[in-house]
Structure 1
Amino acid sequence: MSDEQDINRIKIVLVEKKRSNKWLAQELGKDPATVSKWCTNTTQPDLQTLAKVAALLDVDIKDLLWSTRS
């Protein structure tokens, strides 16, 4: 893990799926600035929103989180 505060992997998974922050914001009906904050780990989405992100990106919700185990 690059930084102790990096909790989610949304930005990485978006890149892997060739999707943009703007696309995700539109799909969720969220402000692009909000999604940007999630991607930089400035703030975190709630679990319900994270589940929606996982469904939109067709990944397991665990794929959006950094493992807490080494």
Structure 2
Amino acid sequence: MKTVDYIALVLVIIGAINWGLIGFFGFDLVRVIFGDMTIVSRILYSVIGVAGLYALSFFGRVQND
């Protein structure tokens, strides 16, 4: 399960960086690399969205030391 957590975290970070670029500079890196809403970019956005939803489960699994 730890591998899935790391993959989800990496995808969420990629999504956050892309949204930061959009917010600060109006530059959509996914659109530049994969095209404007091509099937590949839509799949990538969907996978990152699912990873974000999965990452919500991290809150329930955080342990206090």
Larger Rg: 2
Going by fraction, where is helix more abundant, 1 or 2?
2
Normalised by the length of structure 2, the TM-score is 0.30
